[in-house]
A and B are shown apart, each in its own frame.
Chain A
């Protein structure tokens, strides 16, 4: 039936089908929610209980550690959900499913877009669960504009992580690369002012956090929780995400184009 459709409609149908496949997996494999929902919530509760006293430090920008921590948790959830897209692609490569997709008339960019968009959609559901737990535990409501920014940042960060994961999956072609996919995202997100404001970080981490593009994403996500939403805190996050998406998306697409059947 797709043969009769114009190209763009066929591409859209393929992307939708790949997204539906990813959604089905979430419903059929309960363990699939662990990386994106359960692990970040445990980290949130744990770090809040352990490091909550840090707000007593001079220079800490808020008295509510849970509000300070929730954006990190949301980005961690996005990172893990995106990395899981890479792990799933590696599994598809191992089982020969990707080969079947590659011999279909669908363009390679469509296959990649379907995978990445599916991850971003999944991340929105995961973020809602994480946010609900946070709000129940007293996290400040970021306002509607803040909430919109949070969801946009989470979706885009997941796309970045999915590009990173798929790039590695296409390079190594094995699920054994999963730790590299997860550790890469964990490092990107935690080498920021994740636990404390930038000025309170130790020398080396402060230097790394200043040049880490994820810091801008984190600050943009955090603004509504610890203060007001401003364009000045938002646009650097958008630029950082666009840059990461451009670089990793291009590398991932290159990997997809180079993958032979």
Chain B
């Protein structure tokens, strides 16, 4: 039993490593995770930085300090989408069929992809924290705060990856998964990723108040701008768990569908 578990873990690790290497080797997969969010972070910080003077803006040292969590969130969601695209390409090229016919549990194939996306989430959070620190951002929660942000980011990437994987398994088409790319921005704009909820205009303001992605981004942001808050962290964890459950159910159903229909 233990031996079997260890074997499965090895498979998950190998597939996870493979997906990380694949992303680093292909610019079209890496660019959405690093290049675009970094570019938007720079442009938004420079372009909208004066917004910190608006009445009602939360107390922050700089707009970059506020925006870091938004940049991370964008990167994590695009990592989930990129993971889905790569997975769909493997289905299209028949690589997944070869894995299905090998003597490993099918769930490990999906878990391997998710572990890879989680690792990319870890990389993204470290990348943006490094950018923040390089440009003078102080993490209000200190090392513990940074760790909370990193853990929440990694867990988020994992669950966002489950949605990308589910769509890839269900459709088996890279262009369909790629076509969902704009939806990532719809979700982001309707959350508190880029601006405080109180200063957004309707209907985005009301939607952002209930959007689970707002809870996640606030959970990542809070340790950076004001220190660790138990409530914000728990709300973020609950939102991650909810989206994760949704993604896992979708993935399991899509996997069954893929195995049944081929």
**Which residues from chain A sit less than 8 Å from chain B, CB to CB?**
31, 34, 38-39, 42-43, 45-54, 56-57, 175-180, 182-183, 186-187, 190-191, 193-196, 200-202, 204-206, 208
Within 8 A of A (CB), among B164-219: 175, 178-179, 181-182, 185-186, 188-190, 194-195, 199-201, 203-205
A-B interface, 7 closest residue pairs, ranked by CB to CB distance from nearest: A46-B189, A205-B46, A179-B31, A49-B204, A195-B47, A52-B201, A202-B49
* A53 touching B54 in the complex, CB below 8 Å, given contacts A195-B44, A196-B47, A202-B46: yes
Residues of chain A within 8 A of B186, CB atoms compared? 42, 46
Majority SS at the chain A contact face: helix
Whether the Cβ atoms of B39 and A34 lie closer than 8 Å is no
Whether the Cβ atoms of B195 and A57 lie closer than 8 Å is no
A52 to B27, CA, bound (A): 34
Q: Looking at the complex, which one of A34, A194, A200 makes contact with B50 (CB distance below 8 Å)?
A: A200
Q: A196-B47, A205-B46 are in contact. List 11 more A-B contacts (CB 8 A).
A: A43-B185, A53-B201, A57-B54, A179-B28, A179-B31, A183-B36, A187-B43, A190-B39, A191-B43, A195-B48, A202-B45
A50 to B32, CA, bound (A): 21
Whether the Cβ atoms of A186 and B185 lie closer than 8 Å is no
Q: State the total of A-B contacts with C-beta under 8 angstroms.
A: 114
A186 to B45, CA, bound (A): 15
A206 to B63, CA, bound (A): 16
B99 within 8 A of A: no
A216 to B207, CA, bound (A): 36
B35 within 8 A of A: yes
Residues of chain B within 8 A of A191, CB atoms compared? 43
* A204 touching B204 in the complex, CB below 8 Å, given contacts A42-B186, A51-B195: no
Provide 27 A-B residue pairs closer than 8 Å at the C-beta atoms, listed in order of the A residue: A31-B178, A31-B179, A39-B182, A39-B185, A46-B188, A50-B189, A50-B195, A50-B200, A50-B204, A51-B48, A53-B51, A53-B199, A57-B51, A178-B28, A179-B27, A179-B32, A182-B31, A183-B35, A191-B43, A195-B43, A195-B44, A195-B47, A201-B49, A202-B47, A202-B49, A202-B63, A205-B43
Q: Which residue of B lies closest to A187 (CB)?
A: B39
